[in-house]
Amino acid sequence: MTSKAQIDDFLAQKRFAFVGVSRRRNDFSRELFRAFAKKGWEPVPVHPQAGEIEGVRCFPHIADVYPPVDSVLLMTSPSVTDTVAEECVAAGVKRVWFYGGAASGALNVQAVGRCAGQGMSVIAGECPLMFLPGTGIVHRVHGLVKKIRGTYPSQ
């Protein structure tokens, strides 16, 4: 299970690769990308078919990100998550966050296991918006519901 310390460690990295951010402006992944940028992080978009996202240069693969990153947020579909996890391993990534939310998620059991087996800090199935400072009421309520259910990450 993911710990709050792992989440705090990931969020302490102000620059990270954001894999799976959509080319569609109204997609939830774009909302999350903008929220990180607005709050002082530097998400680096990774998408094999986009030249830029939100005015930021986009890289086709994790290995192409320059300067390199050691933290990656995955918002990919589970069908490609395993391939992206392989890229994380090859690039020497230290932290990987497999997005999980109400409607979708990047979770893939094999990918999570592969990353954890390589000694990476793995956050599996959490929505970052629950942990960003000053986030909206919907995301705070989501966190509260997880606390009530006993599924909120603990220290």
pLDDT digits (tens, 9 = 90+) for 69-96: 999 999 988 889 999 999 999 999 999 9
Model confidence, pTM: 0.90
Token pair for 31 = 């909302």
- pLDDT digit string, tens, across residues 13-62: 999 999 999 888 898 899 999 999 999 999 999 999 988 999 999 999 99
CA atoms within 13 A on the CB side of 124: 18
Residue 118 has pLDDT above 90, yes or no: yes
Residues 6+ apart with CB under 8 A from 54: 30, 33, 34, 37, 45
User: Domains in the chain, start-ordered, CATH in brackets?
Assistant: 4-149 (3.40.50.720)
Confidence at 137, pLDDT banded by 50, 70, 90:
confident
